[in-house]
Amino acid sequence: MAKSIITPEEGAELQRLNEEFEVASARAAKALLVGNRQLASEEDAKAAAAIRRIKEIRGE
């Protein structure tokens, strides 16, 4: 069940995490385009960590 109330601090963290997710996803895609699998993997891990925390805050 999703949380019904998110604190202002959590809201700010969610905004930061969403931005981190977008940046990491874009970097991973660019790394794949140029064949840098190591960087793609690292950025993909950052994106996954952001999503995990987002879900944790939302209570998912």
Residues of the domain holding 13: 8-58
Residue 30 domain flag: yes
- What digits encode the pLDDT tens for the residues 5-53? 999 999 999 999 999 999 999 999 999 999 999 999 999 999 999 999 9
- Residue 26 is inside which H or E element, if any? helix 8-33
By CB atoms closer than 10 A (0-12, 13-18, 19+), residue 28 is buried
The answer to whether residue 3 scores a pLDDT higher than 80 is no
Predicted TM-score (pTM) of this structure: 0.87
pLDDT of 1 reads 67
Residue 2 domain flag: no
What residues have CB less than 8 Å from 51, skipping those under 6 apart? 21
Residue 27 domain flag: yes
For residue 19, what are its two tokens? Answer: 């931005």
Residue 48 domain flag: yes
Residue 3 domain flag: no
CA distances from 17 to 27, 30, 51, 57 (A): 15, 20, 8, 11
Residue 25 domain flag: yes
pLDDT of 2 reads 74
Domain count, the chain: 1
Residue 33 domain flag: yes
Residue 1 domain flag: no
